[in-house]
Amino acid sequence: MANNTKGRRDFIGMALGGFTALGGIGALYAAKRTWDPLPSVKAAGFTTLDLSNVPEGVLITEKWRGKPIFILRQTKDMMSKVSKKDMKRLIKIGDDHFMVAVGLCTHLGCIPGYRPETQDFLCACHGGMYNSTADVTKAPPPRGLDIPPFKIDGKKLVLGEQGPEYKKMLEDGTTLPV
């Protein structure tokens, strides 16, 4: 070691080191921003669904932000079995009720299969089950299928935008934000 600093703290060296570390933080910020999803990816996050011709009781699958979206127009039979709590999960357009949810199991992300004969969903990965409103009925999934942000526009649904009905679902805990 240079003996002129024997016994004395290298203050200026520490100052230089500290200042350099500040620059390093700046560089890390730029690096973090480089990892951010690109604007074009975020802009593609809106899809319009036309629900006017959806047949009842038939599962329709659409795509939003790369994820499958389940649409199930509830039949009269299904509606007779829907509990008061589960009513909050459905979207009412005119006289029709629709289940619209992200078709990825809330356990670990597989796509649950729809069983028309029992009007429910069974996830092949670990056996989780959901009813016709996509509320969970058998473990291991921790909650019902998540409902994407939506806005009602006449007979159309715009996914990606937050309408008042969606905001209400968030507030009363019907769904978590997706």
| Window 19 to 58, contacts with another protein (CB under 8 A) | 19-20, 22-23, 26, 30-36, 38-40, 47
Coil vs helix vs strand at 54: coil
Question: Residue 46 CB, nearest distance to another protein (Å)?
Answer: 9
Mask of contacts with another protein, 62-81, x by CB under 8 A?
Answer: xx------------------
Q: By CB under 8 A, name the one of 52, 61, 83, 118 that touches another protein.
A: 61
State how far the Cα of 60 lies from the Cα of 54, in Å rounded to an integer: 8
Question: Residue 153 CB, nearest distance to another protein (Å)?
Answer: 16
Residues 6+ apart with CB under 8 A from 45: 64, 65, 160
**Residue 26 vs 127, nearer CB to another protein:** 26
Question: Residue 142 CB, nearest distance to another protein (Å)?
Answer: 28
Residue 101: both structure tokens together: 């949810």
From residue 116, give the alpha-carbon distance in Å to each of 41, 54, 68, 101, 131.
35, 15, 18, 17, 11
Partners of residue 136 on adjacent β-strands: 130
Residues 6+ apart with CB under 8 A from 132: 72, 74, 78, 81, 82, 99, 119, 120
State how far the Cα of 153 lies from the Cα of 98, in Å rounded to an integer: 14
Mask of contacts with another protein, 2-21, x by CB under 8 A?
Answer: xxxx----x-xx-xx--xx-
Question: Residue 167 CB, nearest distance to another protein (Å)?
Answer: 26
Q: Rounded to an integer, what is the distance from CA 139 to the centroid of its chain? A: 20
Give how many residues touch another protein by CB under 8 A.
Answer: 29
**Residue 64 vs 98, nearer CB to another protein:** 64
Chain contacts with another protein (rule: CB under 8 A): 1-5, 10, 12-13, 15-16, 19-20, 22-23, 26, 30-36, 38-40, 47, 61-63
